[in-house]
Structure 1
Amino acid sequence: MATVTEETKRSAGRSAGYPFIPLGKAVERAGELRKAVGKSDTRMLSAMHHWGYGPKSSGGIQTVAALKHFGLLEDSGSGEDRRVKLTERALRILLDERPNSADRIDLIKRCAITPKMHQELWQRWGKELPVDEEIRHYLLFDRDFNENGARDLIAEYKATLGYAGLLDSDSLPPQDADIIEPQEPKEEASMEKKFTEMRREPVQRFFGGGEGVPVAPAVVAEGTSSLVLYNDRIRITADVDLEGAKELMRKLQKRIDLLEEEKGPN
């Protein structure tokens, strides 16, 4: 009987899901579909036809999956009756023709970090990507990717970050926005009570409405904390002792005060 080596397993194993094409190509495909069917839904087979794929083409199926990964496409039904439709996010990107539109740029950044594997890689390295060999080692041994999958994901992920401008230090998603230094809170006892309540839930979360960038649990160095203010949201990352918790509450109160000032009186 033939011996199955670890190398063979890595070559033949199944990789975690990730987009078949980078974000730039996915937006282009979404644009082609909009020109063909507008805002209406259509049969998945028809969408594949508009992209130049046959009804049994794996490329067409993977293109549908890629647009779903990025939040550009939604589907319903199954089999030959399966239908697809561009999402509100996709339409806002495609129809926003304003020069240097901040809204469009923000949505593209959100798309880039929407796929689960992209969330994971971003939380691990952010914009400071290591050499490909380091990423490949992580995917092979920590995430059980096969070699082809690791290679393809690295290329797709780097192309997506480049398209979204997330490798530019001046253009980052919420978790890397500038942090405002904290000030003393008005009600220390109230803030300690809030921290006690927070301990019952994960320490990393969003406050506020709107569509936020999905964020996977981050690896936080012991004894550190940060709060990031981004539009109407506050992002908290913390792993602290009691004194660190009090400092975190001061930061939180400051962010709440800033949001209330921006919101103005009811």
Structure 2
Amino acid sequence: MTTAIPTITLNNGVEMPQVGFGVFQVPNEETTAAVAAALKAGYRSIDTAAIYGNEEGVGKALAQSGIAREELFITSKIWIADMGYEQTLEAFEASLQRLGLDYLDLFLIHWPAPEKDLYVETWKALEKLYADKKIRAIGVSNFQPEHLDKLTAGGSIVPAVNQVELHPALQNREVIAANTGHGIVTEAWSPLAQGAMLTDETIEAIANVHEVTAAQVILRWHLQQGRVIIPKSVTESRIIANLDLFGFELTSDELANIDALDRDGRTGPNPDTFNG
């Protein structure tokens, strides 16, 4: 199998790797080793966030890697507490400093927080950072269709990406449809449902047919649906396996059988209890 990673073209022409490495819930002191293992395995897209508390760990791994900056695709996000125009500009610079970078490839509003009604104002700060060439692409995370509608009406740039929780049991089809309608790429966080779907009988049966792991089946399902994915692991063997997705292809029947596992009864975690 090959580890060549395909890219998806964002709505501003920027090429984004379709498979990235996520560090959600990885402690800062473990992040450097995990990201180093990912880079060694062939990942070039790394996804972090201010609220994760591990941007410094990511930055250290990037600095130690020796990989040219232009070969990397680095994403971070602004949290609810830093929303607002001036606050966003300051928080972005703090993220850059922690990462040890001069620019980001993608910067996201982590949560719409509609009760604060600051996401359009925050978006205008992202638009300024984009115009100043400090970010190659800007987007959002955990936005529902109504949030996207308001943002696109109030801003001058359509988000390039909407990163949402998405896996076989939570397929967020209305969000995907809204993203598609706006020309926004869907990126799946928690693409493996934090391991909850790995013992599903349907997925295990498909894995046996292709002689791959259940995780590889789920990640391949995402890829064939045209999504960007950011699987997370701190185990080197799983980090490698999660990138080894290009030597097999799911049939249309297998894709449909995984589609049928949808139990979409929620829209994601509560930001009040969200710790990643």
| Alignment TM-score, normalising by the size of structure 2 | 0.23
Give the number of the structure whose alpha-carbon radius of gyration is greater: 1
Q: Judging by fraction of residues, say which structure has more helix.
A: 1
Structure with greater strand percent: 2
